[in-house]
Amino acid sequence: MTSAKFQKPFLAALAGQRQPRPPVWLMRQAGRYLPEYREIRARAKSFLDFCYTPASTVEATLQPIRRFGFDAAILFSDILVLPDALGQRVTFETGEGPRLEPIADAAGFSRLRSEPDWERLTPAFETLDRLKTALPAEVALIGFCGAPWTVASYMIAGRGTPDQGPARLFAYRHPELFGALIDRLVDASADYLVHQIVAGAEAVQIFDSWAGVLPPAEFERWCVAPLAALVAKVKAREPGTPIIAFPRGAASQLGKFSGMKGVAAIGLDTAVEPAAAAAMLPGDMALQGNLDPLALVAGGRALDEGIDRVLEGFRPRAHIFNLGHGILPETPIAHVERIMARVRGA
C-alpha cells in the first residue's frame, strides 16, 4: 500500500482511494484540438503510419501532459490496429473515419490470422517502453484496446455506423461465426494488453464504444461475457495491473459489471447519473467520467456547472475525472485549462 505506484494519484484512485481532488485525464487528450498535434500529424503519410512510428506516438502522447499536466498519459494508437495486425485491411480516410474490408462470411473470417502479427504492433510496445522514462514521475501510463464487440462491429461493417446495424444483423444471422470472431478478439486483445503491460503500461482501458446499442440478451452475450473473459485472461497473467472498462451507452445495464472480478474502474459516458452508477456498482470499483465534451466546447457557465456537477456527483467514491466521450477537435485550449484549474481548486 505504500509502494511507489501509489504516489501516482491516478493509480491510487484505481486502487479505490478517494482523494480530495480527483486525478484527471481526458479521452483523446492527444489529438486534433492541439495545434502541436496537428503539426506533427500533418507530416505523416497516413494515420496508421503515424500510429506505427514511435517517434510520433511518443511525442503525441506527451504533448497534452506537457501542456496541461494530466495525471495519466494514454498510449497514442487506435483500437483498429488490432484488426490490422490480424490481417484485415484497414485505412483511415481523412474526414471520413476508418475503412476496413468488411468480413461478410466464413471465407472472410478464415482469411484472418489466428493471432496478431506482433511485429506489426511492435511500435506500440516501443512507444510504451520509451514513455516509461519520458513521463513525469507522478503521471501514470495507460495502455488500451477496443472491446471485442466494438472491434468486431467495425470488422463486420467495414466502417463506423450510427448504430452498428451491420454487426448486429450479422450476429443474428450467423451467431456461431460471429462468436468465433469474438473469441478470436478476446484472445488477441488479452495478449495485446499483456504485451502492453510488459512494455510499461501501468493500467489498461478497454473501450466498448458501442456497448449501448444491443438488446439485453445480446448485450450479455456479445459485450459482458467476452469482456469478462478478456479481463480474466489479462488478470491471470498480470494480476497487479488495474483494468478500466468503458461500456459507452450502457447506463442502464451497469449492474452487469458489478460482479466482474478484475475490473478496477468503470468509465461512464455523459448520460450516466453519478449516484445511479454508484448504486449499481460495488464500493471498491472506482468511477471514471463523465463531463459532456460539448460542455467543454461551450465553456463559460455551462462548463463550470458541468465540472462542478461531476465533482459533486462522484465525491462519495474513488473518482477519476474525465469526459464522458472523447474530446472534440473544436475544443478551445483555454477550456481544457479551465478544467485543470477548477478540478484542482486553483
Q: Which residues bind its own copies (CB under 8 A)?
A: 162, 165, 168-169, 172-173, 175, 212-219, 249-254, 270-273, 276, 290, 292, 294-295, 297-298, 300, 302, 305-306, 309, 324
DSSP per-residue codes, 63-91? HHHHHH--SEEE----TTHHHHHTT--EE
Task: Give alpha helix (H) positions in the chain.
Answer: 9-14, 35-42, 47-51, 54-68, 81-85, 106-110, 118-134, 148-157, 165-173, 175-199, 216-218, 225-237, 274-280, 293-298, 300-314, 333-343
Preceding omega of 290 cis (within 30 degrees of 0):
yes
Set 33, 37, 52, 154: catalytic member = 154
Q: Measured from the CB of residue 100, what is the shortest distance to its own copies in angstroms? A: 19
Q: Measured from the CB of residue 80, what is the shortest distance to its own copies in angstroms? A: 19
Contacts with 170 (C-beta within 8 Å, 6 or more apart), sequence order: 156, 177, 178
Minimum CB distance to its own copies smaller for 169 or for 341: 169
Q: Measured from the CB of residue 279, what is the shortest distance to its own copies in angstroms? A: 11
41 is catalytic: yes
Q: Measured from the CB of residue 63, what is the shortest distance to its own copies in angstroms? A: 25
Distances (CA, A) of 116 to 113, 119, 192, 257: 6, 9, 8, 28
99 is catalytic: no
Minimum CB distance to its own copies smaller for 120 or for 174: 174
Residue pointed to by grid coordinates 495545434: 35
Minimum CB distance to its own copies smaller for 69 or for 329: 329
Set 18, 21, 67, 78: catalytic member = 78
Minimum CB distance to its own copies smaller for 136 or for 329: 329
32 is catalytic: yes
Residues belonging to the active site = 28, 32, 41, 78, 154
